[in-house]
Amino acid sequence: AAALRRTDRLHEGADDFPEQLAELIRFLDDDFPDGHPYRRIHAVPGPVQATTAGGVQSPHRPQIWLLGSSGFSARLAGMMGLPFSFAHHFSARNTIPALDLYRESFRPSAVLDAPYAMIGVSAFAADEAKEARRQVLTGALNMVRLRRGAPGLVPTPEEAEAHSLSAIERDFVDDWLSNVVHGTPDEVRAGLDDLQKRTGADELMLTANAHTQDARVRSYELIADAYGMPELG
């Protein structure tokens, strides 16, 4: 992040973000004006391939989304008429204020006629609610360790259950889990539907934090089945 912001300090380049976003859009469109220092630099894949021997240019340019966990990106996405994604799984208290700010700031653009918002949601389903709770506890303990300055691998469910939490850690875990939609498939679907209604999000992007890949894949399968989604592959 520091390298992309052209500074040694992570927060020093934040004021330049709108300018960097404008540069990214110009790279994707390959339309820097004459005299600009980047005029002779061409993004690949990009429009330059359409005029290069042997080049293949897709007619579909990557869509630009702004991701945020506060109000800055929400306002910028609205002012530029771009779709906005909010990190609800990290900053749940700020979700509705940020989405409100995005919608209030929105100006129609060549990309969107109306606001379009997505939120990232931590969700986990298991055949039994007790097992779902057992699995998401591993992610909560992992976050406790991260906040304590001791990041590492996601612990096993057995390790998480055996871990003795301090009062402060217990409060953190309870608060963290309150924002994780977990339980049986039907309970998760109900929770996700309620969250969508409360936030008005157009899309939900799900993430699952558990000890094993099998547990995560199984959770996604159960949620997909709860919504009647077709099986892939």
Write out pLDDT tens, residues 148-181: 888 888 899 999 999 998 999 999 899 888 999 9
Task: Show me where the domains of the chain are located.
Answer: 1-61, 121-226
- The rounded percent of the chain whose pLDDT value lies above 70 is 88
Q: Which uninterrupted H or E stretch holds 159?
A: helix 157-162
Mean pLDDT of 23-38: 87
Alpha-carbon torsion angle 18, 121, 97, 203, nearest 10: 70
pLDDT tens track for 60-111: 677 889 998 888 999 999 999 999 999 999 888 999 999 999 999 999 998 8
Other Cβ atoms less than 10 A from the Cβ of 131: the count is 17
Residues 15-29: what's their mean pLDDT? 83
In contact, 185 and 206? CB cutoff 8 Å: no
Write the CA distances from 31 to 5, 27, 93, 210, integer angstroms. Answer: 22, 7, 40, 44
Residues 6+ apart with CB under 8 A from 65: 77, 82, 83, 84, 85, 118
DSSP 16: G
Q: Cα–Cα distance between 79 and 16 in angstroms, integer? A: 16
What is the average pLDDT across 40-68?
Answer: 75
User: pTM value?
Assistant: 0.82
Q: What is the 3-state secondary structure (H, E, C) of 103-120?
A: HHHCCCCCCCCCCCEEEE
Torsion (CA) 192, 193, 198, 204 in degrees, nearest 10: 50
